[in-house]
Amino acid sequence: MSAAAYDLILKNGTAVLPEGTHTADIAVKDGKIMAIGKIDGEATETIDCTGLHILPGVIDTQVHFREPGGTHKEDLEHGMKAAAMGGVTGIFEMPNTNPLTTTPEALQDKLGRASKGAWCDYAFYFGGTAQNAKNLSEWENLPGVCGVKIFMGSSTGDLLSATDDEVLAVLSNGKRVVAAHAEDEMMMIENKKNILGDSTDVAMHHIWRSKESCLSATTRLVTLARKAGRRVHVLHITSAEEMEYLAQNKDIASVEVLPNHLTLHAPDCYNKLGTLAQQNPPIREKEHQDALWRAIDDGTVDIIGSDHAAHTMEEKQGTYPSTPSGTPGVQTLVPIMLDHVNNGKLTLERFVDLVCEGPHRIHQIAGKGRITKGYDGDFTIVDMNKTETITHAQQQSKCGWTPYDGKTVKGWPVMTVVRGNIVMRDGELQGTPKGRPIAFRETL
Ligand code: DOR
Q: Tell me which of 342, 363, 384 is where a domain ends.
A: 363
- Residue 377 pLDDT class (50, 70, 90 cuts): very high
Q: Tell me which of 320, 346, 363 is where a domain ends.
A: 363
Residue range of the domain that includes 214: 58-363
Q: Kindly calculate the radius of gyration of the chain based on its CA atoms and give it in whole angstroms.
A: 21
Residue 438 lies in a domain: no
Residue 209 lies in a domain: yes
The answer to whether the CB of 84 falls within 8 A of the CB of 429 is yes
Q: Tell me which of 363, 386, 409 is where a domain ends.
A: 363
Tell me the whole-structure pTM to 2 decimals. Answer: 0.98
Alpha-carbon distances, residue 312 vs 66, 70, 77, 205, 317 (angstroms): 12, 10, 17, 19, 9
Rounded to the nearest integer, the mean pLDDT of the chain is 97
- Residue 4 pLDDT class (50, 70, 90 cuts): confident
At 307-364, the pLDDT tens digits run: 999 999 999 999 999 999 999 999 999 999 999 999 999 999 999 999 999 999 999 9
Q: How far apart are CA 224 and CA 98, in angstroms?
A: 28
Q: Which residues contact 272 (CB under 8 A, 6 or more apart)?
A: none
How many whole angstroms from 324 Cα to the centroid of ligand 1?
8
Nearest-CA residue for atom 3 of ligand 1: 326
CATH number at residue 11: 2.30.40.10
Residues 114 and 48 in one domain: no
Q: Which atom of ligand 1 is nearest to the CA of 157?
A: 10
Q: How far apart are CA 114 and CA 96, in angstroms?
A: 16
Residue 260 lies in a domain: yes
297 counts as catalytic: no
How many whole angstroms from 44 Cα to the centroid of ligand 1?
43
Residue 442 lies in a domain: no
Q: Which atom of ligand 1 is nearest to the CA of 278?
A: 1
How many whole angstroms from 377 Cα to the centroid of ligand 1?
31
How many whole angstroms from 214 Cα to the centroid of ligand 1?
15
Residues 247 and 200 in one domain: yes
At 250-281, the pLDDT tens digits run: 999 999 999 999 999 999 999 999 999 999 99
Q: Which atom of ligand 1 is nearest to the CA of 235?
A: 6
| pLDDT at site 443 | 57
The domain total for the chain is 2
Does the N-terminal peptide bond of residue 99 adopt cis geometry, omega within 30 degrees of 0?
yes
Residue 40 lies in a domain: yes
- Residue 1 pLDDT class (50, 70, 90 cuts): very low
Residues 164 and 122 in one domain: yes
How many whole angstroms from 8 Cα to the centroid of ligand 1?
39
Residues 48 and 64 in one domain: no
| Residue 2 pLDDT exceeds 80 | no
Which residues in 336-407 belong to E strands, given as ranges? Answer: 379-389
Nearest-CA residue for atom 4 of ligand 1: 280
Residue 282 lies in a domain: yes
Q: Which atom of ligand 1 is nearest to the CA of 236?
A: 6
- Residue 444 pLDDT class (50, 70, 90 cuts): very low
Q: How far apart are CA 376 and CA 419, in angstroms?
A: 5
**Catalytically annotated residue among 75, 307, 339, 353:** 307
| Residue 26 pLDDT exceeds 70 | yes
Residues 125 and 177 in one domain: yes
Residues 117 and 244 in one domain: yes
Residues 287 and 398 in one domain: no
- Residue 156 pLDDT class (50, 70, 90 cuts): confident
CB atoms within 10 A of CB 398: 22
Residues 416 and 350 in one domain: no
Pocket of ligand 1 (CB under 6 A): 64, 96, 155-156, 181, 279-280, 309, 324-326
